[in-house]
Structure 1
């Protein structure tokens, strides 16, 4: 019932609006370090991580036969990961990691990062930690995730359905997020992008939209999306997502196709129409038939025998049930 009045839909980017299958498209190394060495260390640091970006790095390192062993692995929630390789502590992460560690970034890596971000790639840095707490970036990687073609259609249909605001939330850097939003057809000044958001803060984005008067539907698939799914007016979990996300949501989409959100809205509105129609039919019968059967107009020669009234009651029930069955004609499948 709530889905029919949703006026803001908040999508988690990775795995929902994009395919979630990142590939390493570029890399750069600081002076004095080779790209192979940077990739070897980064692959070792990310080996125990479950993040899609980590898996992409590890896959490339393995394909090139660049192996190393890491120890003391530690996940830095929302920022990256850290481990010790060959006796030196390294970290791999995005902009939040660089800020937290106040890492020095060589000019060549800065230039490369700007070029990659401008085209919508996610950028990760390999940071080396040295004695005294000093941190320096020694490598950078560009990872790109293809936008789902059906995501553009989903957003267009949501607008046709009267959804006032489309919102995307991601932990990626803002240039990357805005490039993806532009590709998806977000309207400047109307739709919104929450970028560089820590996992723990996703539910705050939902609360912010609600505080502004929006009825919010949140669409996500990961463990980090669970609090936001629970806080939203309607939480929709991608069926291929994690169990935690599915448990936190009110609606489970059977596939990863974001057009399923438009189907849920369509079903919600159609169900509500049937509720009103059936209520009107049932109330109309009771208002007319019961008084007649009770003999209210007997003085005027108008009456309805109890037996006929009982038959009409059965007919009324059948009509209501058949009318509800017409919901099967509502087209919910994407592309139908």
Structure 2
């Protein structure tokens, strides 16, 4: 396939390359690339992106980009650049162990020289030097941090937190800003009926039962959302007869011997449908929130309206409330339309909204916040989120998301539950505290032990033998191990 080729994309197929529509019309699911939760209408002259999914129409697309020249490949390059640009700081424990080793050797040499200058016997000076070397052995220091790392990683895994890169967990305690992707992270990434209104005399469950029976024959994402909502509520979806599509208006079918129509505003205009005030009010509110309003019509009268949108996860509200309690600012980054993003942000209490952001610009938004001195975590699930995940101080990937997002993240939420974000911060804080305690326990005792081993109390008859020095060194290791085990008591 080369630039300029004309390819036929059939209904349901993946678009093979970046290109421009030359003939046809269809709805394209671009959620994986742009984050836009609703299918995007494409007509002649519109651009399409490789790896997005065609809807129910056929398209003839002129190829404009293949292989490394596609937007998807560009996103992958951004991920690679962001990951390699991060510097790997040397581990604190490694630096401390090296310093202690140098200090121990230096202290031993000074001890030997000092006793020789003081006129001590050679064997006495050697014993003092050996005792200093034994007691200052950085054995406990070498275990201080790795023990905590192993236990915290295990504790995280048991609570659905897969730590891929330790730097992410260690930095989480300093977070002051958390950015959420919308589609698939704060929301289910699937359409559901989020509000509805019915005409007088009709129960909501009955209206949903009829609507689901009509839409069960359709493969449109909004139709599938209505059916799924009925199934989630335990409503039996009835069989429909005579299902047919009404071009540009909606669908029609017969349920229980009665013919119904379903569609959007175009259906109302074409059939001069009477709409009750309550239905009009709900439809208007849905339009203000950027949601699709689908009407159930019988004999020229609207019986119900269904506001269909990407449904918000119930867990998202608790997660954002918990972050706010910690004083952490919450932002949302999405490719969705501004009205849709604002509606979600208002419902969840999100502080800052970045809407209609292209995939290649998401990482730039993260860098803008970092330039203000903020410690930023990014939570996402799609290919379009990967550059931002890799750029953020802490990248947190939704476990059910795309593989490239998981690879770009420092931490993976195995349960795909946003409520695990505060748990990461709790684990990070507890882990850091145990690391600091262990470093002091492992190295701090040398402040007293090394002078004692060197013989500063010899005039008063207090001397440590190498054997006693070995016992003290081993005791410090045991203390460090016990302290690390106490991390298991932390409740996430």
Q: TM-score, normalised by structure 2?
A: 0.46
1:97-246 correspondence runs (5 A): 115-118=285-288, 120-123=289-292, 143-163=308-328, 165-186=329-350, 191-246=351-406
Match of 2:191 among 5, 9, 22: 22
Q: CA deviation at 1:113?
A: 7.8
Structure 2 residue 176 is matched with structure 1 residue 7: yes
Q: Deviations over 1:288-316 (max 9, x none)?
A: 11221221221233322221121111111
Gaps of 5+ in 1: 28-38, 47-51, 69-85, 89-104, 125-140
Q: Deviations over 1:298-336 (max 9, x none)?
A: 12333222211211111111111111111111122xxxx
Alpha-carbon distance in structure 1 between the residues aligned to 2:224 and 2:365: 28
- In the alignment of these two chains, the number of paired residues is 258
1:36-75 correspondence runs (5 A): 56=225
Match of 2:465 among 305, 321, 327: 305
Q: CA RMSD in A?
A: 3.6
Single out whichever of 310-319 and 145-154 deviates more from structure 2: 145-154
Q: Deviations over 1:100-139 (max 9, x none)?
A: xxxxx99x99x99863143x45349xxxxxxxxxxxxxxx
Distance 1:57 1:198, change over 3 A: farther
Gaps of 5+ in 2: 1-169, 197-213, 230-238, 249-264, 270-280, 294-305
Alpha-carbon distance in structure 1 between the residues aligned to 2:484 and 2:414: 23
Distance 1:311 1:192, change over 3 A: same
Alpha-carbon distance in structure 2 between the residues aligned to 1:18 and 1:199: 18
Q: Deviations over 1:177-208 (max 9, x none)?
A: 2222122123xxxx201112223322222122
Three-state SS of the structure 2 residue aligned to 1:21 is strand
**Contact 2:362–2:388, Cα closer than 8 Å, also in 1:** yes
Alpha-carbon distance in structure 1 between the residues aligned to 2:180 and 2:445: 45
Q: Residue 115 of structure 2 aligns with which residue?
A: none
Distance 1:210 1:57, change over 3 A: farther
Three-state SS of the structure 2 residue aligned to 1:22 is strand
Alpha-carbon distance in structure 2 between the residues aligned to 1:11 and 1:298: 64
Which is higher, the Rg of structure 1 or of structure 2?
A: 2
**Contact 1:121–1:142, Cα closer than 8 Å, also in 2:** no
